[in-house]
Structure 1
Amino acid sequence: MLGIGAIVIGARDFPRAVEFWSAALDYDVELGDDGDWAFLTSRDGRGQRVDIMQVSAPAEQRRRHHLDLDADDQAAEVARLLDLGATEVPEWRYEDDANYIVLADPDGNYFCVCRS
């Protein structure tokens, strides 16, 4: 099964983005261990999670919004999505402990399939 885990926003001014989006949505904020991620969740538990990640590239140089899809069986979902027309993003550089795989939809929009 596949579900939207989060809508991810890349931000160069990370503190300002966290401040803006948490206030705009009236969401609670939890900062990641490294301080370069923030996880925003609705106070009533019904809204979609929004994650903000620190980026260095300007918006014109890098896609800054994408979906994180949570998968119970990551390998099976990646195979299914590739059969549906998604493509792998071979130039993506993964961290050693990455729990996600970056794919592109048929129009070239990136999204991540994450182990849930």
Structure 2
Amino acid sequence: MTNRWAGVTVDCVDVERVAAFWSVLLDRPQGPSEPGWIYLGHRDDPLPRLVFQPVAEPKQGKVRLHLDVAVDDIEQGMAQAIALGGGFTGERHAYDEGVVVVMTDPEGHEFCMAQYY
């Protein structure tokens, strides 16, 4: 038996808004999707699919699993995320290997954005 990572599913109240944010930020086109859901990428892509699942309740509390997004320029990456409807939590860390900031998507799902040196 072979197990493989197929995707990451994000619960969203506004599936279209959250999927559009991630589609532009990661340059991942929408693939075949079920009604009411949006999938970025295809099942056979080399990268895992991002799946946006509709739910009635808004996010509560800090997510325990998050995406890490690598960027060439941290300031430009942050500006793009904010322009797309995301936010900056104010959390920023400088490490020997680079800088990491904690950002949010339009529904408040936290993710790390990192510029590696």
TM-score (norm 1): 0.45
Query: What TM-score comes out, normalization by structure 2 length?
Result: 0.44
**Structure whose residues are more often strand by fraction:** 1
Bigger RCO (CA 8 Å, 6+ sep): 1
